Amino acid sequence: MQTKIMTVYETLQKRSLNRFEAERIGDHCLHSTIAVLRADGHKIYSQWEVVETRFKPTRVKRYFLLRGTV
């Protein structure tokens, strides 16, 4: 059975994610999933970005899995 954490990890192996993109793959609380992955030893870098939303630009973090990690 595919878990949310596995889905996010596999996606991060292919590309970076922010919270709105993670919604499309079923993660409604990406920062918590990232915390679990980091606790498991995965090296995940984050940086702030601004994305346009329906109402106003919003600051969110984009997460990147660093290559060559656990």
Sign of CA dihedral 61, 52, 13, 9: positive
Q: What residues make up the domain containing 35?
A: 4-65
List per-block mean pLDDT (blocks of 10 residues) for the chain, which spans 70 residues: 93 97 96 97 97 95 83
Write down the pLDDT at residue 70: 52
Residue 70 belongs to some domain of the structure: no
Crossing angle of helices 30-39 and 4-14, in 10° steps, is 80
| Closest to 34 in 3D by CA, of 16, 51, 52, 49 | 16
pLDDT digits (tens, 9 = 90+) for 21-36: 999 999 999 999 999 9
pTM of the model: 0.89
Q: Number of folded domains in the chain?
A: 1
16 within some domain: yes
Rounded Cα distance, 18 and 63, in Å: 6
Q: 53 lies in a domain?
A: yes
Residue with tokens 């059975």: 1
